[in-house]
Amino acid sequence: MPFGAGSMGIEMTKEEFRKKFPHLAAEMEAKVMAKAIGGVRWEGAEAYDELRNPDAIAFLRRCDTDAQALEIIAYLEAKGEVSKDYAERLRRQLKEKGLSSFGDKKEPGYYFHKYYNKAK
């Protein structure tokens, strides 16, 4: 199958691509700007996009205490960002499994370190 088939109607082999765009090909092969996909979470049909559209879990992972997490859940529920049922599931998970059950804490600079991979 040709490289890039179907993406924009442009088809070429990897060798042709390397000849026409040597720097871009080298950057792509070195994975200079790569985003690892560890899992996808969504409610409904909309795909989860952590950077442009953070979900409730993304906000909860910034919290230091259960009280902060409960405040975030209440806020998101009041604004209609999460359903009542989903908010209740989050509260139950928080009570039964603790704040760490939502994932590692997101410290300042989290997105920079996770998504910006400097060329080596």
Q: What is the C-alpha separation between 3 and 40, in angstroms, rounded?
A: 26
- Using the predicted structure, report yes or no on whether residue 66 has a pLDDT greater than 60: yes
- Using the predicted structure, report yes or no on whether residue 1 has a pLDDT greater than 50: no
Mean pLDDT, rounded, of the chain: 79
* Secondary structure class of 42 (helix, strand, coil): coil
Q: pLDDT digits over 37-64, tens only?
A: 554 454 543 444 677 778 899 899 999 9
CA end-to-end span of the chain, whole Å? 31
pTM of the model: 0.54
* Secondary structure class of 25 (helix, strand, coil): helix
- Domain locations in the chain as residue ranges: 1-30, 35-120
Q: Using 50, 70 and 90 to split pLDDT, how confident is the model at 27?
A: confident
